[in-house]
Amino acid sequence: MTTIIRAGSAHDFLALVPALVGYRPARSVLCVAFSGNRTGGVLRHDLPADPESADALVSTMVGTMCRLAEADAVVPIVYTDREFAEDGGMPHRELLEAIVRRAEEAGFLVRDALCVAADAWGSLLDDDLPSGGRELSLVAESALAARAEEHGPVADSPAKLARLPEPDPLVSAEIARLLAELDGPVDGADEVVECERRRRAALDELERELGDGLDPVVAAEQLARGEIASPAGLAWLVHLLERPLFRDAVLLQVAFGAVIGELALDSAEDAALRARDADASLEELMRREFDEADAESVDAFLTRLLLGQAAARPERRRIERALETLTVAAANAPVSHRAGALCVAAWLSWALGRGSAAGALIELALESDAEHGMSQVLARFFGTGTLPEWAFQPPADTAWERRTGQ
Comparing 295 with 342, which gets the higher pLDDT?
342
**Do 77 and 198 fall into the same domain?**
no
Give kind and range of the element (H or E) at residue 29. strand 28-35
**Do 123 and 174 fall into the same domain?**
no
User: Given a cut of 80, is residue 49 above it in pLDDT?
Assistant: yes
pLDDT of residue 152: 64
Write down the pTM of the prediction: 0.76
Cα-based torsion angle of the residue sequence 271, 274, 276, 277 in order, rounded to the nearest 10 degrees: 180
Angular region, 152: left φ>0, alpha ψ -120 to 50, beta rest: left
Q: What integer is the mean pLDDT of 73-86?
A: 95
User: Given a cut of 80, is residue 148 above it in pLDDT?
Assistant: no
Q: What integer is the mean pLDDT of 368-395?
A: 85
pLDDT bracket for residue 131 (50, 70, 90): very high
- The rounded distance, in Å, linking the Cα atoms of 322 and 328 is 10
pLDDT of residue 50: 86
Q: What integer is the mean pLDDT of 61-79?
A: 90
Q: Is residue 388 part of a domain?
A: no
Provide the residue range defining the domain that includes 366.
169-370
Contact 96, 76 (CB under 8 A): yes
pLDDT bracket for residue 154 (50, 70, 90): confident
**Do 275 and 340 fall into the same domain?**
yes
pLDDT of residue 403: 35
**Do 129 and 183 fall into the same domain?**
no
Q: Is residue 161 part of a domain?
A: no
What does each C-alpha distance from 76 to 13, 21, 298, 311, 346 come to in angstroms? Answer: 12, 14, 41, 26, 26
- The rounded distance, in Å, linking the Cα atoms of 311 and 332 is 35
**Do 136 and 257 fall into the same domain?**
no
Q: Is residue 378 part of a domain?
A: no
Q: Which of 166-180, 194-208, 266-280 has the highest mean pLDDT?
A: 166-180
Comparing 230 with 41, which gets the higher pLDDT?
230
Comparing 242 with 154, which gets the higher pLDDT?
242
- Range scoring the smallest mean pLDDT among 168-182, 291-305, 339-353, 367-381: 291-305
Last residue of a domain, one of 122, 154, 186: 154
What is the SS3 assignment for 42? strand
CATH of the domain at 50: 3.40.140
pLDDT bracket for residue 312 (50, 70, 90): confident
**Do 73 and 136 fall into the same domain?**
yes
pLDDT of residue 163: 81
Q: What integer is the mean pLDDT of 142-160?
A: 74
What is the SS3 assignment for 388? coil
Q: What integer is the mean pLDDT of 35-64?
A: 88
What is the SS3 assignment for 215? coil
- Range scoring the smallest mean pLDDT among 214-223, 279-288, 329-338: 279-288
Q: Is residue 390 part of a domain?
A: no
pLDDT bracket for residue 277 (50, 70, 90): low
Q: What integer is the mean pLDDT of 111-137?
A: 94
pLDDT bracket for residue 246 (50, 70, 90): very high
What are the residues facing 353 on neighbouring strands? Answer: none
pLDDT bracket for residue 293 (50, 70, 90): very low
